[in-house]
Structure 1
Amino acid sequence: MASSNYEVIRLKRDLPAQGVVIHQITDDRMKTGVPLHDALDRLLEAVKGKVLLVHYAKIERDFLEAATKRFYGKSLPFLMVDTMQIERRRLERTHQSIQSNQLRLAYLCQQYQLSK
């Protein structure tokens, strides 16, 4: 059964301006978020025995490995399917030149009529 969820994480610092532009999460919204440890516990329970579908796995993997190492003393393995890699390979196989926006999540969702 496929599902999705998101949580805003509370940080003890201001967000970089570039991140606000990309994610549309402001400092005041972030300050009402949940502690990372709580969100991580819920995520680990939800993904137990599952494969994660992510866009740009390097960012997701690096973040999750650092967070699990910080809270649990070791990084945990996460199985991931990377939609950005899939699209990059598809474009390469069809010998299409890759434009800068073609690998963005918003573009791919629109192209394949998917919700984010």
Structure 2
Amino acid sequence: MSIHGAKMLLSLEECKLKVTVSLDNLYGVAKVAVSHVREYEWGWLFSYNSIEQIQGNEDAGLMGNAPIIVNKLTGEMAVTGTCGPIKDFIEDYEDHMRETEGFSLEEKSEAWRKKPKKARWF
């Protein structure tokens, strides 16, 4: 986002809303919620689970619920993965940011589609 050429940072609340809307579209409204947020220089990593599991029902936990990255500078969202340490997915994302610095979101997406990766972007 920009106003007269100046970059505008997305707030934690704006990024969390992006994740919530995406999760509602995927799982249904009020079925899942953000359970943990980790902050990085470039944005946040959101973990999520079923509302039942968050409220204490361990049997109601989701499977395959990979944490979601939201970049506060671009609004870009990335699903990480569940088959490896989260640090590997974070490093992969940080490499992607360096390699595509100065690209438009469309150019970043195209470059990402052509590159082998651990994380998925949407």
The structure whose RCO (Cα within 8 Å, separation 6+) is larger is 2
Q: Same fold (TM over 0.5)?
A: no
Instruction: Decide which structure has greater helix share.
Output: 1
TM-score, structure 2 as length reference: 0.25
TM-score scaled to structure 1, two decimals?
0.25
Give the structure with the higher percent strand. Answer: 2
